[in-house]
Amino acid sequence: MPAGQGTLMDFASFLIQMLNSLQYGLLLFLVASGLTLVFGIMGIINLAHGSFYMIGAYLAFVLTSATGSLFLAILLGIPLTFIVGAFLEWALFSHLYKREHLEQVLLTYGLILIFEELRSLLVGDEVHGVDIPAIFSASIPLSDVLSYPVYRLVISGVCIVLAVALYFVIQRTRLGMMIRAGNHDRTMVEALGININMIYRVVFALGFALAALAGMLAAPISSVFPNMGSHVLIISFVIVVIGGIGSVWGALIAALVIGFADTFGKVLLPDYAGMVVYLVMAVVLLWRPEGILKKG
Amino acid sequence: MGHNLNKAFKFGIGMALAAGLTSGAQAADDKIKVGFMLPYTGTYASLGNAITNGFKQYVAEQGGKLSGREIEYFTVDDESDPAKATENANKLVKRDKVDLLVGTVHSGVALAMAKVARENKTLLIVPNAGADEITGPLCAPNVFRSSFTNWQPAYAMGKVAAQKGYKKVVTLTWKYAAGLQSIDGFKEAFEQAGGKVVKDMTLPFPNVEFQPFLTEIASLKPDAVFVFFAGAGAAKFVKDYAAAGLNKTVPLLGSGFLTDGNLDAMGDSGKALQTTLHYADGLDNKKDQAFRLTYAKTYKMQPDVYAVQGYDAAQLYGAGLKAAGGDVSKQADVIKGMEAAKIDSPRGAFTLSKAHNPVQDIYLREVQGGQNKVIGIPTKALADPARGCKL
């Protein structure tokens, strides 16, 4: 970089970078929210969470090609992934609750390999694009040369709605109450005559569907490609740990913090951009070892 | 939890390794043994397959024999994993005792292969990986390349950018060797011709959150942007660039890997994008037309630049064997034959530099109707400077 070429930005650019941060943070939240539910409430370390995201993106690609509409793809995709999630819980994860984390990690690592191999056999190894739905394909001009794609704003909107809905379900509904109770004391909840197995199945299926929805929504802007899940897996764990394991609000705050750290890190500290996110994690964990919001 | 997680990760990776071991076969002594060490799984699987197909196509065109000798193939999936590269290369070199090692796509893996080849004096042809070092400071008499250096296409684009009258350019790439070497190549040609790179931007590989950089580009308002991206990240970048409206005011330039294999994924965003590479669609060249026809018939798909590089690796080896009368034990003669060869490639004829890298034309291509159509030849017979090579 030539001398005198300041990295500090003018005010308009600063505002746009704020928007970038917010938008990226909200997308991260969508991916991480499912993980924080499964990890925090059920105590399962699910390395295959990134694969669920990948499955969502490929579903968006396959179903959009078949139906011609991303909306239809999402409408079909959500119940489909919910059912697959419930089946996986029944067939595999329900046997893991009382086991060691190590065994959970082994199973879910194996699932990553299986899902990637299936993806390769069924859809292939090519990079695919998914078209942005026509009504959202416009861009809003922000400066003389830069515009902002409407679709990115739509994703942010969906993320906000989902955050509020998740909060409402968990804090204000009977189902949410049972979920929280099951998190505190599984045996006691069972003794009260609540079918805790069914609750866990629903939570797991919901976690799967949320990750897949994130993949479906992100498909048009991120492209669809092999191993795309591994890119989001680590950042999702970072968010869950920073936010406080099991806390949906915590995950939201953490995702926004990471969004800001990543965006401004890239612009202001380009040589250390890869580290900024993890520095933030280290600082937060030193300050609050349990994460920003403890579970509860 | 962190500790358990880590332990489990290592265990899982160990298991994956054990499962990935491929079994070798006993070789008949009269056949020439060719070992492919290429990616057959993962992101680069299609590239590994294209290289293999191209190589085998040339051998098949010669009646399945080179200099009268039958060819026996050995394959190892390198998984594009540098950590396993030395072990994988040794499987082919020490266990299977191949006469020729062919590989690979990933530069980090290729550098490890070159080391194994040098130590064991095994002949190596690199059919893709563009790391400048392989035919630069780390060059060796028994190491050849049938593809390109990262420097080559980027250098050509630097010339193009200057010819178009751009004065102020911003660059962006992942912070890894292929990207940084490409940027250096571009800068060398562009700044020699009087242009100025006003800002170099990088992001960690394989991060694809480009939005902050697009905002930076918009505020810097350069005459053009030069990038190096490849694969899925490249498709995403081109789409993001168009979605931000930057393609209307700030032309995007790139090394050819920006668009190769990505045209479908990019859709309309890639329209009229200009890139430079040593291969293109629509070349006016009989060899290319014949090659493409046979390839499409044999493999039921269209060939790409990787298939060409595999095909030329076989041609190059064929020339060496011919010079040695088919006797692989006369390695010095094989090498001499390869060094002197004029390869009639689908990309256009090329020879090798002293450092064993192709001296080749670099094409300027434009995305038209789902193809990378050739629109010019900014640099004819471009040789990599091979800095640091003492051959």
pLDDT of residue B10: 54
Phi and psi at B75, nearest 5°, equal -130, 145
- State whether B197 and B254 are in the same domain: yes
Instruction: Write the CB contacts of B300 (distance below 8 Å, at least 6 apart in sequence).
Output: none
Residue B380 lies in a domain: no
Is B4 in Cβ contact with A102 (below 8 Å)?
Answer: yes
Extract the tokens encoding B61.
């065109």
pLDDT of residue B116: 96
Is A102 in Cβ contact with B243 (below 8 Å)?
Answer: no
With vertex at residue B254, the alpha carbon angle to CA B291 and CA A228, rounded to the nearest 5 degrees, is: 85
Q: Say if residues A151 and A135 touch (Cβ distance below 8 Å).
A: no
- State whether B122 and B226 are in the same domain: no
Residue B382 lies in a domain: no
Long-range contacts at A279-282 (CB < 8 A, ≥ 24 apart): A280/A242, A281/A238, A281/A241, A281/A242
- State whether B55 and B95 are in the same domain: yes
- State whether B139 and B35 are in the same domain: yes
Query: In Å, how far are A52, A70, A174 from A134, measured between CA atoms?
Result: 26, 10, 39
Q: What is the pLDDT of residues B248-275, one digit of tens each?
A: 999 999 999 999 888 888 888 999 999 9
- State whether B328 and B304 are in the same domain: yes
Considering only the beta carbons, identify the residue of B206, B219, B262 that sits closest to A13: B219
- State whether B115 and B220 are in the same domain: no
**Percentage above 90 pLDDT, chain B:** 80
Phi-psi region of A195 (alpha: psi -120 to 50; beta: other; left: phi over 0): beta
Considering only the beta carbons, identify the residue of A12, A110, A129 that sits closest to B239: A129
Answer whether residue B28 shows pLDDT above 70.
no
Residue B299 lies in a domain: yes
- Residue B197 Cα, gap to closest chain A Cα (Å): 9
Which single residue is written with the structure tokens 């009646």? B63
Which class for B303: exposed (0-12), middle (13-18), buried (19 or more C-beta within 10 A)? buried
Render each residue's pLDDT in chain A as its tens digit; 296 residues: 343 344 456 888 899 999 999 999 999 999 999 998 888 788 888 999 999 999 999 999 999 999 999 999 999 999 999 999 999 999 999 998 888 889 999 999 999 999 999 998 899 877 888 888 888 988 898 888 888 989 999 999 999 999 999 989 988 999 889 888 887 888 888 898 889 889 999 999 999 999 999 999 999 888 888 888 888 899 999 999 999 888 888 999 999 999 999 999 988 888 887 889 999 999 999 999 888 886 54
Answer whether residue B24 shows pLDDT above 60.
no
Confidence class for position B46, pLDDT limits 50, 70, 90 = confident
A102 touches chain B (CB under 8 A): yes
Q: Say if residues B107 and B178 touch (Cβ distance below 8 Å).
A: yes
**Domain count for chain B:** 2
SS3 A6: coil
A149 touches chain B (CB under 8 A): yes
**Interface predicted TM-score (ipTM):** 0.81
A268 touches chain B (CB under 8 A): no
* Number of other CB atoms surrounding residue B193 within 10 Å: 14
Considering only the beta carbons, identify the residue of B42, B46, B213 that sits closest to A227: B42
- State whether B63 and B209 are in the same domain: no
Considering only the beta carbons, identify the residue of B202, B235, B244 that sits closest to A270: B202
Considering only the beta carbons, identify the residue of B42, B245, B250 that sits closest to A139: B245
- State whether B163 and B241 are in the same domain: yes
CA–CA distance, B348 with B361 (Å, rounded to integer)? 8
Residue B307 lies in a domain: yes
- State whether B86 and B126 are in the same domain: yes
Residue B105 lies in a domain: yes
Pick from B219, B259, B263 the residue to mutate for testing the A interface (most A CBs within 10 Å).
B219
Is B235 in Cβ contact with A127 (below 8 Å)?
Answer: yes
Amino acid at site A61 = F
Give the residue among B350, B213, B37 at the shortest CA–CA distance from A263. Answer: B213
| 3-state SS, one letter per residue, for B118-166 | HHHCCEEEECCCCCHHHHCCCCCCCEEECCCCCHHHHHHHHHHHHHCCC
Is A106 in Cβ contact with B11 (below 8 Å)?
Answer: yes
Residue B391 lies in a domain: no
- State whether B139 and B157 are in the same domain: no
With vertex at residue B185, the alpha carbon angle to CA B198 and CA B249, rounded to the nearest 5 degrees, is: 45
Strands (E), A29-187: 139-141, 147-149
Residue B13 lies in a domain: no
SS3 A154: helix
> Which H or E run includes B178?
helix B177-192
- Residue B1 Cα, gap to closest chain A Cα (Å): 7
Please identify, among B252, B277, B302, the residue that sits at the C-terminal boundary of a domain: B277
Please identify, among B216, B248, B277, the residue that sits at the C-terminal boundary of a domain: B277
Q: Say if residues A146 and B246 touch (Cβ distance below 8 Å).
A: yes
Q: Say if residues A246 and A41 touch (Cβ distance below 8 Å).
A: yes
Please identify, among B232, B260, B277, the residue that sits at the C-terminal boundary of a domain: B277
User: Could you tell me the CATH number of the domain that includes residue B59?
Assistant: 3.40.50.2300
Is A109 in Cβ contact with B8 (below 8 Å)?
Answer: yes
A230 touches chain B (CB under 8 A): no
Collect all residues of chain B within an 8 Å Cβ-Cβ radius of residue A17.
212, 215
Is B4 in Cβ contact with A100 (below 8 Å)?
Answer: yes
Confidence class for position B19, pLDDT limits 50, 70, 90 = very low
Residues in a beta bridge with B174? B203
Q: What is the DSSP string of B237-298?
A: HHHHHHHTTGGGTS-EEEEGGGTTTTHHHHGGGGTT-EEEES--BT---HHHHHHHHHHHHH
Answer whether residue B213 shows pLDDT above 70.
yes
- State whether B187 and B269 are in the same domain: yes
CA–CA distance, B270 with B304 (Å, rounded to integer)? 18
- State whether B355 and B208 are in the same domain: no
Answer whether residue B337 shows pLDDT above 50.
yes
Q: What is the pLDDT of residues B54-63, one digit of tens each?
A: 999 999 999 9
Residues in a beta bridge with B200? B171
Is B212 in Cβ contact with A267 (below 8 Å)?
Answer: yes
B-contacting residues in A 156-195 (Cβ below 8 Å): none
CA–CA distance, A181 with A250 (Å, rounded to integer)? 19
Residue B169 lies in a domain: yes
Give the range of the structural domain holding residue B56, as residue numbers without chain letter: 27-148+285-359
Collect all residues of chain B within an 8 Å Cβ-Cβ radius of residue A132.
243
